[in-house]
Chain A
Amino acid sequence: MDTMRDRLAPVVSRLLDEDPRVAVVLAEIGRDGFREAERRHPDRVINVGIREQLLVGAAAGLALTGLRPVVHTFASFLVERPFEQVKLDFGHQDTGAVLVSAAASFDWPAGGFTHMAPGDVALLDTLDGWTVHVPGHPDEAETLLRQAVAAGDDKVYVRLSVQSNGQRRAVDGQHFLPVREGRSGVVVAVGPMLDAVLAATADLDVTVLYATTVRPFDAAGLRRATRAAGTDVVLVEPYLAGTSTAAASEALADVPHRVLGLGVGRRELRRYGTIEEHTAAHGLDARGLQERISRFLDAGRTEPGQG
Chain B
Amino acid sequence: MTTAAEQSRTHGYDDLPRLMGMMTGDEKHGPAATSTLDVLWVLYDRVLRVTPERRADPARDRFLLSKGHGPMAYYAVLAAKGFVPVDWLPGFGSYDSPLGHHPDRVLVPGAEIGSGSLGHGLPIAVGTALGLRAQGRPDPAVWVLIGDAELDEGSNHEAIAFAGPAGLDRLHTVVIDNSSASHALPGGIAARFEAAGWSAVTVDGRDHEALYAAFTAPHPGRPHAVVARVEPKNA
Contact = CB atoms under 8 A, between A and B. Distances in A.
A44 B131 CA distance: 8
Interface residues of B toward A: which range? 20 to 34
A96 to B, nearest CB: 13
A216 interface: no
Given A54-B158, A57-B159, A67-B135, A93 B130 contact: no
Interface string A79-98: 00000110011001110000
Would you list the 9 A-B pairs with minimal beta carbon distance, nearest first?
Answer: A61-B127, A57-B123, A65-B131, A58-B127, A51-B158, A54-B158, A43-B134, A61-B128, A53-B155
Interface stretch (B15-23, B110-118, B174-182, B209-217): B110-118
Interface string A24-51: 0100000000000000000110101101
A64 B131 contact: yes
B155 to A, nearest CB: 4
A200 B12 CA distance: 75
Contact of A61 (B106, B124, B135, B158): B124
B117 to A, nearest CB: 6
Contacts of B130: 23, 43, 46, 58, 61-62
A270 to B, nearest CB: 29
A13 B123 CA distance: 25
Nearest to A69: B127
Contact of B134 (A23, A88, A89): A23
A65 B127 CA distance: 9
B132 A65 contact: yes
Interface residues of A, number: 31
Contacts, number: 104
Contact of A44 (B105, B124, B127, B134): B134
Given A48-B162, A61-B125, A66-B58, A23 B131 contact: yes
B224 interface: no
A240 interface: no
Contacts of A197: none
Nearest to A82: B155
A59 interface: yes
B28 to A, nearest CB: 34
Interface string A85-114: 100110011100000000000000000000
Contact of A62 (B105, B134, B158): B134
Nearest to B124: A61
A64 B162 contact: no
A57 B114 CA distance: 13
Contacts of A156: none
A94 B122 CA distance: 17
B123 A53 contact: yes
A65 B135 contact: yes
A93 B113 contact: yes
Contacts of A62: 127-128, 130-131, 134
A211 interface: no
A235 interface: no
9 contacts: A58-B127, A58-B130, A58-B162, A60-B127, A61-B128, A64-B113, A65-B131, A92-B104, A93-B114
Contacts of A89: 120, 123-124
